[in-house]
Amino acid sequence: MNLQETERALISGRYAEVLKESLVGVSLAEMEVRPADVVRWSLLALSACRYMGRTNEALQHAYSALEKARPLNDPLLLCEAHLGQALAFKTARDYDEAIRELKESLESLPAGASDLLRATVLLETAETSMEAGLRPEAESALAKGGALVHWIREPRLLAWSLYLRSQWEDVSPADLQLSAAYEIAKTVDFPELQWRILWRLGERAGEAGRSKMQEDCLWNAFQILTRLAEPLESADATGFWRQGPRRLFMESAKKKFGGTFFQRVMQEGVRQPDNSTRIIRDLGFDSASIPDFGRREPPQA
């Protein structure tokens, strides 16, 4: 796979495959003295490690990418390297360092350069600040990033921004934003965001006393995660389930279904939940409200 194909595989959740391709890419780029590609492949390797719970390896790849990017006189690549370092620090739950790297990432990006990259950094700043309990900083970054997303019309970032905005909305508007985010994430094959949206919808359903919907959402989210973990080796699968938000999700599932949750899964398999699109529709969401750039393009004749 080339860089673009590997990036697509990462978004689709093929983490072991991405890591294997990235390590080959790093070695080949080093042999052929292509330092910019060494940085790009290293950033893909760190992302794959991060999603699989390989925190130390993610930190190593992030450090290597940043050190190699510094002397290259490429502001966009340096911005991406700082972003990668921030993601690795966030995986290690070092939010202070993560936020510092995100600030450096934005500062290294020249005015007028890559709105797509700027929006990505701003949304990551919003999410990291939110997780760190820094609401004013999160709201400020989200307002700037969300405005850029609507300007550049990138569906994956639109789904992410809607998901983040829903955190501060009242129940009904938030549910509709989450529904739109889910449908867009599904269209662009972004399972990492899909399961988090379903988890959030389930939590809101529980708060509103809608127990059946909460159960359906949690089982749908769990099904997505199970599909992502299935190709991984045993040690990586263990790390996958223990990684950050997934660990919190499993605690939520155990709270809902009881301490024997894993035993039930082992004995009964993953239960077939209600179709997630039906759940979204039942919330009153109209898919016709999704902007055209957030829809799947019709197949070419």
- Rounded to an integer, the average pLDDT of 231-250 is 91
pLDDT band at 170 (very low <50, low <70, confident <90, very high): low
pLDDT at 295: 47
pLDDT band at 244 (very low <50, low <70, confident <90, very high): confident
The residue among 113 and 56 whose pLDDT is bigger is 56
Asked if the model's pLDDT at residue 172 lies above 80, the reply is no
pLDDT at 281: 56
Are the CB atoms for 27 and 63 separated by under 8 Å? no
Q: How many CA atoms lie within 13 A of 171 on its CB side?
A: 10
pLDDT band at 167 (very low <50, low <70, confident <90, very high): confident
Q: What average pLDDT does the structure give for the chain? A: 87
Q: Which helix (H) or strand (E) holds 16?
A: helix 15-31
Q: Cα separation of 85 and 94, whole Å?
A: 11
Asked if the model's pLDDT at residue 16 lies above 80, the reply is yes
What lies within 8 Å, CB to CB, of 258 at 6+ separation is: none
pLDDT at 176: 84
Q: What is the 3-state secondary structure (H, E, C) of 97-127?
A: HHHHHHHHHHHCCCCCCCHHHHHHHHHHHHH
Per residue in 20-37, pLDDT (tens digit) is: 999 999 999 999 999 999
Asked if the model's pLDDT at residue 57 lies above 70, the reply is yes
pLDDT at 300: 40
Q: Say how many C-beta atoms besides its own lie within 10 A of residue 292's C-beta.
A: 8
pLDDT at 224: 92
Among 29-43, 148-162, 197-211, the range with the most confident prediction by mean pLDDT is: 29-43
Nearest CA to 199 out of 276, 292, 122 is that of 276
Cα-Cα-Cα-Cα dihedral sign, residues 50, 55, 58, 63: positive
Q: Say how many C-beta atoms besides its own lie within 10 A of residue 248's C-beta.
A: 11
pLDDT at 265: 62
pLDDT band at 299 (very low <50, low <70, confident <90, very high): very low
- Rounded to an integer, the average pLDDT of 218-225 is 89
pLDDT at 285: 46
Q: Cα separation of 114 and 293, whole Å?
A: 19
Per residue in 91-149, pLDDT (tens digit) is: 999 999 999 999 999 999 988 778 999 999 999 999 999 999 999 999 999 999 999 99
Asked if the model's pLDDT at residue 301 lies above 50, the reply is no
pLDDT at 83: 97
Are the CB atoms for 201 and 216 separated by under 8 Å? no
